[in-house]
Chains A and B, each alone.
Chain A
Amino acid sequence: MAADVRPDTARPTDEIVDVLIIGAGASGAAVAWSLADTRMRILCLEQGDWIKSGEFPSNGRDWEARRYAEFDISPNRRARDTDYPINDANSPMKIANFNGVGGGTVIYTAHYPRMHPSDFRVRTLDGVADDWPIDYWTLEPYFADNDRVTGVAGLAGDPAYPPHQPTMPPVPLGMTGTRYARAMNQLGWHWWPSDVAVATTEYDGRAKCINLNHCTPGCAQGAKASVDITYWPSALRAGVELRTRCRVREITTNEHGMASGVVYFDGKGVERFQPAEVVILAANGVGTPRLLLNSASARFPNGLANSSGLVGRNLMLHPWPQVFGYADAEVDGDRGPQTVMWSKEFYETDRARDFVRGYTLQFSRGTGPANEAITSMIFGRLPWGKEHHRVFRTLHYRRLLIGVACEDLPEEHNRVTLDPILKDGHGIPAPKIDYTISENSRRMMEHGIARASEILTAAGATNISCSRTMLNSPGHLLGTARMGLSPERSVVNAWGRCHDVKNLFIVDGSIWVTSGGVNPTSTIQALALYIADSIKQRLATLFD
């Protein structure tokens, strides 16, 4: 291999590794796990901590409050010392993430749909954006591997998907899901129990779900499949090294234009150099372009791997309106996993509509009393004063909530750049987000809001309202280092290698060409496994 170590540094230099992975989240864990069987020396640097199950909010009486504190989905509010700030003031959708072993899977809802076959062929089928250089069938075996490692609850036979077999029975419908299902049957619309990365039976050493509901800010039971308890234990047992509280500042290159390693700050704040033969970026669709742009040098003045000028561009965030209604009697409330079922009735393009592509409807259970009160206060459903208690009783444990997961098409003006002022705790320039919701997305959102309102009405709900953007932070960070065959129109090739730097790979959501209308984690991880396999199959010619 060609990479060498910078000899001119006064920084402490660590022993060279074969593979250096930046980020221990969904994709970093999957690629580490897959590469471990090569017996190469593999190191992962993660800026955050391990989160112990005893630290999750549902262990304590303050469980609802802590989702607005150190387990908030916004890094700006959470503001742990392991977080970096993000200037998202110029975006109607705010950025959600989590920095720690497990990354975003620590705080995701675990809704786990795959992309659909059509999602990889939007140019061919619908004449918009670009086709992916790979397809669903390329990823299909990796979806299956990923489902097996993760443990996915669901039900085979969904007519909206190619056949696949979830590894555990679906989460219960409950009273809430039964209401939704009756309404969908009345309307004649498709629904199916969601694929959910929650253990509904004991699975691979993990305990089964006991209906804590609080899936998003971490699962104290360990039933939710965050990668700190799925991929990482196996990867570590296989010899992968994982160092926490190590924040990478830049990727360095040598005179051959190859990545030579990274400069990072260790847990004591000491700036160090870690040499590596291969560098794999797994830092999500905001962190990855931030790092590439922060790695600008005389050799790569516009940022590393950015000869196309597309690093940071085409950011896709998934507009995700939430439509609320309230039943006339108690339903599940905060008993049970949040996500129940999905509908793909409006997923595929219908030329009779005024938009292309489509959306998933994601059906959710309710929430706890404090969160019900807080969100209802924000949206004006819950008054202050003498009427407070009467109105609260019409809301508590009666919530029905449908999310409209809209496909977000790529637009170059939606982008991540470096903020000229804002920096993280190590003085590294922070990312800045410039994002607008497209006209196509707005039409799609309104269509979905109208359909969700019809469903809620059919389910017997009243007091129907919608949050178009206020709660619209799904944390799906996609598209900012896109995959493609042309070095002029993409950042990485069809198997994740940067066109410009042949020992630099990207495996996170930034390589997505289009976004689909689904939660991305399942597909991000299948892609990471596919790229790892591509690396393993090409070891002798990896840099050709």
Chain B
Amino acid sequence: MTEDPGAELTSTEARDLRRLAAFMVPASTEHGMPGADDAAIFADIVGSLGRDRDAVRNALARLREIAGGDFAALDEAKAEAASMTLLGRGGPLMTALGRAVLQCYYRDDRVLRALGLEPQAPFPKGRALEPGDWSLLDAVRGRARMWRDVDDERR
């Protein structure tokens, strides 16, 4: 297969990442959440790799090593085990992989609505913030001076 060298991922990498993403953040009927392998979310992930692209590609190469060559050929249980082995290693590659997936997952409209959030940019609408209980400051107002004087004669 001819690959576009400018593409974010090769077709093999994209296939492996999508399967991996399903193990990272699986769909949940209990919480009404799609998985990170959902078509729209996954397209966002692949299109938003940006500064993490090389790290994600390296992480996928490690995944293939763990899988013994072909991650796609593993059955479900072995694929999940390989994924968790990779993710358990931590370090900068896993940080980049996690960031690439989570920054897109947690901006999906369905995910945000399931969390009780309005899917919108913060600006220009802004947000409401309650003032809080300022009477609590009364306990501090009466304290003696705490700062150390340096006996400067010019004052």
Contacts and interface: CB of A to CB of B under 8 A. Distances in A.
Interface of A: 56, 58-65, 68-69, 77, 79, 116-118, 120-121, 124-125, 135-137, 155, 157, 159-162, 172-175, 177-178, 181-182, 184-185, 190-193, 210-214, 220-221, 332, 334-336, 344, 347-348, 368-370, 372-374, 377-378, 380, 384-386, 388-390, 393, 396
Contacts of A174: 129-132
B46 interface: no
Contact of A61 (B87, B119, B132): B119
B121 A60 contact: yes
Nearest to B145: A159
Contacts of B102: 370, 373-374, 377
A181 B133 contact: yes
Contact of A370 (B30, B106, B127, B132): B106
A384 B99 CA distance: 12
Judged by DSSP, the binding face of B is: loop
Given A58-B122, A68-B51, A389-B31, A377 B127 contact: no
Contacts of A377: 95, 98-99, 102
A192 B147 CA distance: 14
B151 to A, nearest CB: 9
Nearest to B28: A389
Interface string B87-129: 1001000010011001111110001100101011111111111
Given A60-B121, A172-B129, A389-B33, A374 B98 contact: yes
Contacts of A370: 102-103, 105-107
Interface of B: 23-26, 28, 30-31, 33, 48, 50-51, 80, 83-84, 87, 90, 95, 98-99, 102-107, 111-112, 115, 117, 119-134, 136-137, 139-141, 143-150, 152, 154-155
A131 B121 CA distance: 48
A118 B149 CA distance: 7
Contacts, number: 185
Contacts of B146: 159-160, 190, 344, 347-348
A61 B129 CA distance: 21
Contacts of A185: 136, 139-140
A332 B128 CA distance: 10
Nearest first, the 7 A-B pairs at minimum CB distance are: A173-B132, A210-B126, A370-B106, A220-B123, A65-B103, A181-B136, A336-B129
Contacts of A59: 121, 123
Contacts of A79: 51
Contact of B105 (A155, A332, A373): A373
A170 B126 CA distance: 18
B144 A159 contact: yes
A178 B121 CA distance: 27
Contacts of A61: 107, 119-121
Given A211-B127, A370-B103, A124 B25 contact: no
B25 A172 contact: no
B85 to A, nearest CB: 11
A158 B137 CA distance: 10
Contacts of B150: 117-118, 120-121, 124-125, 135-136
B132 A172 contact: yes
A157 B144 CA distance: 11
Contacts of B152: 117, 135-137
A137 B140 contact: no
Contacts of B98: 374, 377-378
